[in-house]
Chains A and B, each alone.
Chain A
Amino acid sequence: MSEKEMQVKEKAQITTEGEQLKEGPVFLPSVDIFESPEAITIVADLPGVSPDKLNIDLRDNELTIEGEVDYNIGEDEKYLLQEYEIGKYYRKFALSNVIDQSKISATMTDGVLRLVLPKVEAVKPRKIEVKAA
């Protein structure tokens, strides 16, 4: 089979700055960040985070993504095997000063966040046409 097989990746645990008021581990979500001439897009894996438990904050060019996980095992359940831990997600990014903050859009499907950060008009690359005189 030529198809790529998925590998188990342990969730990266972090200690966030500041005091966590809620106990439990904090994980760094895996992300893809890509840039097109029009926008910067961030795609983050946040399994178990419902859209209303997600906090996206942008200030002083610092973007913070924070997600609470609202699933756990039932009260009468007992673990037989635990291969991964459940905890909240937290990640911070420094953005350059080119984002049009009024046009940011975020969608969440199947535990994946897609954040589109459009660039301001002034920084969009322009092709300069050279006219033959």
Chain B
Amino acid sequence: MALIRWTPGLMGWERDPFAELERMKREMDRLIGAFFPTRGLGRTAGVFPAVNISEDANNIYVRAELPGIKAEDIEISIEDNSLIIKGERKIPEEGENVTYHRREREGGIFRRIISLPTKIDADKVTATSKNGVLEIVLPKAPESKPKQIEVKSG
């Protein structure tokens, strides 16, 4: 077995080959993104429901379009710092004497877990559903709120 003397810094990446791989992966993602623009949308997680997550200074907002799903058929829970949305969309049968021209709406069960980017106050989370859009408001924990530091002139 031949032993090759390891000379750090010779090629510039020996110290952490994984960091170099990571950098190459980022570069590839950037190139692919340049060729296939996604209309400003991020990649979806491939899990129903699709969500939009936003934040302001005090809250994190998670919204999902869930038409025809009654509020009582949605189960929302917080575990550690993850949000879990579970439920079922029921498409009622329309009777035996009907025939279909189109059938595009689908029913089924769903369960999604979303890791939250900051610590939240789990006791103060609220969820409302309006016109088939679910909105979950997750207040940020005091320690993760931005703090304004006043500069006093001396």
Q: Which residues of A contact B (CB under 8 A)?
A: 1, 3-10, 30-37, 40-41, 43, 45-50, 71, 73-74, 76-86, 108-112
Contacts and interface: CB of A to CB of B under 8 A. Distances in A.
Contacts of B91: 32
Interface string B69-88: 11000000000000000001
A5 B110 contact: yes
Interface of B: 39-42, 44-57, 60-61, 63, 65-70, 88-89, 91, 94-95, 97-110, 117, 129-133
B108 A110 contact: no
B101 A79 contact: no
B68 A35 contact: no
Main SS at interface, chain B: loop
A81 B88 CA distance: 24
Nearest to B70: A110
A8 B41 CA distance: 14
Contacts of A4: 106-109
Nearest to B117: A80
Contacts of A1: 109
Contacts of A109: 68
B104 A31 contact: yes
Contact of A81 (B52, B56, B109, B132): B52
